[in-house]
Amino acid sequence: MKSHYKFSIKDNGIGIDKKYHDKIFKIFHSLKKSKDSSGIGLSIVKKIVDLHEGEIWLDSEPNIGTTFYFTLKK
């Protein structure tokens, strides 16, 4: 029996370059300089996933889109 549920969220946006994959879950990090982005959204998501003994990661291709995956303990 598996111990975690697995979820995925996919878009067909601009994608995220691999050089940013390890940085986007850090607090106050944003890929765009924008007053509309605080850079805390994905760090909060990561913290919640961590608290539920899960993992979060992504698969992305520039100009194709991004899929975020995360697991939560059952």
- Domain containing 29 — which CATH number? 3.30.565.10
Q: How high is the pLDDT of residue 50?
A: 97
Q: How high is the pLDDT of residue 32?
A: 62
For 16, 17, 46, 68, the CA distances from 61, given in Å and listed in that order, are 6, 7, 21, 12
The pLDDT tens digits along the chain (74 residues) read: 589 999 999 999 999 989 888 888 888 766 666 566 667 889 999 999 999 999 999 999 989 999 999 999 99
Instruction: Give how many domains the chain has, as a whole number.
Output: 1
Confirm if 16 and 30 have CB atoms less than 8 A apart.
Answer: no
Q: Which domain holds residue 51?
A: 4-73
Q: How high is the pLDDT of residue 28?
A: 72
Residue 7 pairs with which residues in a beta bridge?
Answer: 70
